[in-house]
Structure 1
Amino acid sequence: MSGLEIAGVVIGVVPPIFQAAGAAWKTLDDTITFDGDTEDLGIRLEYVKAHLGIWATKAGLTQGQLVEALVPQQELIARTLNRVRDLVEEVQQEGKKYGLVGKEAEQTDEKKKSEAVPQMRRSLISSMMALRGRRTAVAILLEKEGSVRQTEKNETKMLRRVLWAIHDKKRFEGFVESLEGHVKRLESFVMEGGRKEMRQEGTRFALEIIRGLSEAGALSQLQQASGWDPGFSQIDVQSLAQWKAIPLQKSASIDVEGDWSLDGKTAAERAQTRFIKRGRFNQEITYLFEKKEYDANISADNKDLLKERVRQLVALLKEPGAQRHLHTLRALGYVDDFEFGCWWVVFRFSSSPLSFGALVGQEPLSLRDLLPLSSKPPLEARYGLAKRLVDTFAQLYGADWMHKSINSRNIVFPRVRNLGSNPAIPPLQQALVQGFNYSRQSTQNATIDRGKVLNDLDAAIYRHPLYQGEAASGYKINYDIYSLGLVLYEIAVWMPLIAYLAMKPEKEQIVPLSPKMDRFHEAEAFELKRRVMIRVKHELAYRVGTKYKNLLEWCLNLEKPVTAVEFYDRVAVPLEDICGQL
């Protein structure tokens, strides 16, 4: 199956022209092979197909007729669809004209083929079926993945089957460009509301592609292929492919010292979680040092594994795409501080002079610093901050990474915290996500999660109740989403979470809480969650609206891991709707 004909099979009725175009495209899928240096064109062709399939669904073609708003344009739409069909059929009939040559099935070099194109096809099938509302995208993907692989296996047994192979890449690229032009014209025949929905479907398609790829070669092909339209999706599929590939590749060289060092830092400063320091050689540049601790009794093997996590984290956060899409400072390298049992990940903080002398003990202004202030930002600004954070984590989860230390102290702003006065609230859209704690992909080994700090109450209260204390192991994505939910709650009520530890309950406390407590484990975490959920249930809809309340409840009540698509649907999309109504 190509993906285009799925909706027609399920519904049973499609306009004849679109049905003919889909049938022609399926034949092309069945007879053309992409391998070696031509696979990027296969990926590009799948992009075009995804555009066409999602547009056709939103245009009503899979329901048997155009949506009413497009009826005045039906003649132009029919003409353009005919051109798509004719072009695809012409390629099959006059392959040489488009750079194709006949090729026996057994000539296909399977070793050169990656999973990129088949996975994109499965992702499109999944997206189309989910769009029809029949079943979840996850169920469809699993079912169709097995079906497609079985079909591919059967086809390899057809020894004498003649296929098309690309001989002249430039000529075939001209065919792909012509298709792109026709489909782009079709996409112009959609009302504004439909464009937003198409972009959301494009985002789901991209997330499904990345979720299904686990080979470094396929991810590399996706990074290098052209044709991805930034307007088609809210995420950059090539950035996600690059980030997901990091643990699968040999670690690149990471700087361990540059214009930055620990020289001159006192023991008190090195006991902090983070601090700002001027450059050794260029005093006008400042750097942020963030601590990543490890157990003093850690084995050499586990320390090496944690060190590799640090290197992978730096690789993730050093690329310009991370600053643009993940809203972080740019990581530059790390420093090994054996005496204090930690590594310091170093970020570029500012390249302009800061008027705080030696910056002794200074750190960035954080969301946690702003929450106790009497002045509260307007609701629209808080919605915007929540959306910025959620969009960041939707992309992080899309690349199969987890943060592992989400809390309001790790949401910072590009300015120095001034302890001597109440800070003015900066523009909330400048918020940056920092404090990644031995972040890893959800599929990586989870047995060395003991690198977390167990005695930091400010951090512990954000951790999931099932990930508390010495017994905690096996970090999961739903734990990350729970922590994010607590930060979203803080943004809604504009009050720090730790304040709930000081509140006097109406009834006698079975599990006492206090901001000065020196023990915070599973029972205490469940009690804190109970107090928060009471407020969510009875107050939040009035404060920030029902949609925000519902997405928050989903974050806080997850009992098992979810996919990036599910997070996007249940949290990112509702927040986009909220912000779009302002």
Structure 2
Amino acid sequence: MDPVTAAGIGLSVTSLALQVFSGCITGYQMFIEAKDMPATYEHLRTRLRIEQTRCLNWGEKVGLLEELLDEPSQFLQLNHNLILNILLEVQKAFRSCMVVTKKYDPVAAASSRSSAIAISESHGSTFLERTLAAWRKGGRVASRIEWSVIKKDSFEELIKKLIHFNDRIESFLDRRTLDDLRQAQAQSNLMLLQVTEQVSQLRDLIAAVRLEQTAGPDMSPSFSRASTFVDRDDQMRSLASLAAFKAHALELEKATMEAPNLEIQMSDLVSLDQLRATRPVTKLKGRSVWIEWRETIADIDAMPKYKRQLADRVRALATILASPSKSPTFRSPDCLGYFLDETSRPQRYALVYSWPLGDSDLGAGIASLRDALASSTRISLNSRISLACRLSESLLHLHAVNWLHKGFRSDCVLFTAAGDRDFILSDVLISGFEFSRPALPDAMTVTHVFPVEQDLYRHPDLLDPEPARSKKSYDIYSLGLVLAEIAMWQPIEEITGIEVRRSRLYQVRERMLDEKTGIFDSIAERVGDIYAKVVRRCISGGESLGVDIGADEEDPKVGAEMQKIFHAEIVSKLRALKF
């Protein structure tokens, strides 16, 4: 039905757009739920899910909601003909990919309600349900299709067309709305990654996001849409990188692939007398490197089992941090290997990282945020907000692949420094991964004894004699303390006014959340109310992070909800700050 005919029978343009849009989403759902699809096509099904989510996010942003039909957005009013034409082309593309179209036509009435598509739990979002319900209101029910009615040789081409159509409808948006849409899609991508748990599924996801759009004569991008494609491609590359890392980590954890030998001989390192420094810079076979010390091994003869566990954990950690699939969004240094210093008492492990500046500027050093806080250096508000954004984004992506940091603190936030005051905050790295492990139910946990300065940043539940198992909300708690330090530009013990003694560690969270201390008021005064609310959310945890008391954070559904809150209420809020 064309717009003119629709107007003739009393349908508003917005109402018609909603009907056609819901037909498109129903078409997506039919193909996603196609029965008996061979495993070799699973990556295409995955890409269909991604493109359906893009279309849904777009529809929600432009106001294709039943409750808004009486007050259509200016965007819909100005672009209704173009939008309708594109949406009708989407429906046409679905029809053309089917051997039989009459019975299964997503824009035609089906004969029986009993054959309606069931919405799977993974697609049970409110807007999807409402959109499919809008389609059914007209007495139309889409049947669930069999793989046999889909044209196999046209299926991949269909998806490339859908990518193109989504790019086109997004290209009409203004820059601000497009940015909002990109944030919504990034959140959807991370939630998809969160619930994808099998290596084979992750491989399908990687293949799906790497699917290139066909650039035929009628599908080449215009100059005005250049930024749209760049943003989308960046998102796809980031998702592929995270999925590849998660798959690699799972393979290592499940011992389905052989880890390379990354053990380094201490004799290959020069200036051994300087290795006692906190983060010594040295040479490894002519290459500039820096060293980060890990746990010590005390009384090893009495703990042979612990020694083996520790060696295995260091080896696995070095392997994953040296992985070429490691996402740059983690901001972790490039690991070259590890060694055991048997000359020290007690013995201790160390991770060896490449020097971030190559073989240049060896006069510079590596400083931590903790060092900067203790100095007389004053950093601009914009630089501090930017640093807070980078750290929260890194932890968000780390959690998206189910990897816990476990030791997040200002001492592991690193940047190069030319002197005592010249800190380069834009080149931030996150170290301290020596205490990390995948957040899997059967992942091995090694108990450590930490210095009291590190325990300042640990959640109180981790300070008990028999500590709780580490989880994402504890990482986010530690992030909240670091964000508070960045806001006030003071160490956390000065902000809370406690002595750095083990008996006082439990008071950190209490004093942060105690209204009488006025800490959040002080943070709001320095960096604004929004930033202060973000810090409070991180430290409060629980329902503030979308987690019920006692909920299993390793459950994919719980993890997905946490990911949603983390992205929307922490990362996005910090990104939106402008001073």
Bucket of the pairwise TM-score, normalised by the shorter protein: 0.7 to 0.9
**1:108 aligned residue:** none
3-state SS, counterpart of residue 43 of structure 1:
helix
1:313-462 equivalence runs, <5 A: 313-320=317-324, 322=326, 324-338=328-342, 340-349=346-355, 350-356=357-363, 364-415=366-417, 422-426=420-424, 428-445=425-442, 448-451=445-448, 453-454=449-450, 456-462=451-457
**2:573 aligned residue:** 574
3-state SS, counterpart of residue 472 of structure 1:
coil
**2:37 aligned residue:** 34
The answer as to 2:555 corresponding to 1:558 is no
Query: What is the aligned length?
Result: 493
Specify the code of the residue in structure 2 equivalent to 1:457.
Answer: V
Query: CA 1:252–1:344 in 2, change beyond 3 Å: closer, same or farther?
Result: farther
CA distance in 2, matches of 1:85, 1:343: 60
CA distance in 1, matches of 2:455, 2:488: 20
**2:112 aligned residue:** none
**1:109 aligned residue:** none
CA distance in 2, matches of 1:570, 1:19: 29
**2:56 aligned residue:** 53
CA distance in 1, matches of 2:417, 2:239: 31
Distance apart, 1:448 and its partner CA: 2.8
Distance apart, 1:390 and its partner CA: 0.7
1:198-347 equivalence runs, <5 A: 198-225=181-208, 226-227=210-211, 231-232=231-232, 236-249=238-251, 250-257=256-263, 263=269, 269-270=275-276, 273-279=278-284, 281-282=285-286, 285-294=288-297, 296=299, 299-320=303-324, 322=326, 324-338=328-342, 340-347=346-353
**1:113 aligned residue:** none
Distance apart, 1:178 and its partner CA: 1.9
**2:522 aligned residue:** 539
1:74-113 equivalence runs, <5 A: 74-93=80-99
Instruction: Summarize deviations over 1:212-244 as a string: whole Å, max 9, x none.
Output: 122121112212332387734868222222232
CA distance in 1, matches of 2:444, 2:174: 51
Query: CA 1:533–1:266 in 2, change beyond 3 Å: closer, same or farther?
Result: farther
Question: 1:164 pairs with 141, 148, 154, which one?
Answer: 148
CA distance in 2, matches of 1:294, 1:210: 37
CA distance in 1, matches of 2:477, 2:296: 23
CA distance in 2, matches of 1:180, 1:478: 36
Specify the code of the residue in structure 1 equivalent to 2:94.
Answer: V
Distance apart, 1:433 and its partner CA: 0.6
Identity of aligned residues (%): 23
CA distance in 2, matches of 1:218, 1:532: 47
3-state SS, counterpart of residue 26 of structure 2:
helix
Query: CA 1:353–1:130 in 2, change beyond 3 Å: closer, same or farther?
Result: farther
Contact 2:455 2:505 in 1 (8 A): no
1:462-473 equivalence runs, <5 A: 462-468=457-463, 470-473=465-468
Instruction: Summarize deviations over 1:147-191 as a string: whole Å, max 9, x none.
Output: xxxxxxxx9xxxxx853277755x432222222222211111222
CA distance in 2, matches of 1:433, 1:127: 37
Structure 2: 5+ residue stretches without partners: 1-14, 102-116, 132-143, 213-228, 543-548, 554-558
Question: 1:492 pairs with 471, 487, 495, which one?
Answer: 487
**2:499 aligned residue:** 514
Distance apart, 1:69 and its partner CA: 2.4
Contact 1:251 1:311 in 2 (8 A): no
The answer as to 2:179 corresponding to 1:196 is yes
Distance apart, 1:483 and its partner CA: 0.9
Contact 1:276 1:289 in 2 (8 A): no
Moved more, 288-297 or 184-193: 288-297
Specify the code of the residue in structure 2 equivalent to 1:21.
Answer: C
TM-score, normalised to structure 2, is: 0.75
Query: CA 1:484–1:230 in 2, change beyond 3 Å: closer, same or farther?
Result: farther
The answer as to 2:475 corresponding to 1:480 is yes
Contact 2:269 2:283 in 1 (8 A): no
3-state SS, counterpart of residue 461 of structure 2:
coil
Distance apart, 1:404 and its partner CA: 0.9
CA distance in 2, matches of 1:167, 1:304: 55
Specify the code of the residue in structure 2 equivalent to 1:58.
Answer: K
CA distance in 1, matches of 2:130, 2:571: 17
Instruction: Summarize deviations over 1:77-134 as a string: whole Å, max 9, x none.
Output: 1111111111111212469xxxxxxxxxxxxxxxxxxxxxx9x9754443746999xx
Contact 1:255 1:334 in 2 (8 A): no
Specify the code of the residue in structure 2 equivalent to 1:442.
Answer: A
Specify the code of the residue in structure 2 equivalent to 1:465.
Answer: P
Contact 1:366 1:408 in 2 (8 A): yes
TM-score, normalised to structure 1, is: 0.75
Query: CA 1:300–1:224 in 2, change beyond 3 Å: closer, same or farther?
Result: farther
Distance apart, 1:257 and its partner CA: 4.0
Contact 1:295 1:450 in 2 (8 A): no
Contact 1:200 1:234 in 2 (8 A): no
3-state SS, counterpart of residue 422 of structure 2:
coil
CA distance in 2, matches of 1:209, 1:251: 25
**2:47 aligned residue:** 44
Distance apart, 1:26 and its partner CA: 3.5
Distance apart, 1:572 and its partner CA: 0.3
Contact 2:365 2:416 in 1 (8 A): no
Contact 1:365 1:415 in 2 (8 A): yes
Specify the code of the residue in structure 2 equivalent to 1:342.
Answer: R
Distance apart, 1:256 and its partner CA: 2.5
3-state SS, counterpart of residue 477 of structure 2:
helix
Contact 1:326 1:393 in 2 (8 A): yes
CA distance in 2, matches of 1:522, 1:477: 20
Moved more, 332-341 or 382-391: 332-341
Moved more, 70-79 or 525-534: 525-534
Query: CA 1:57–1:524 in 2, change beyond 3 Å: closer, same or farther?
Result: closer
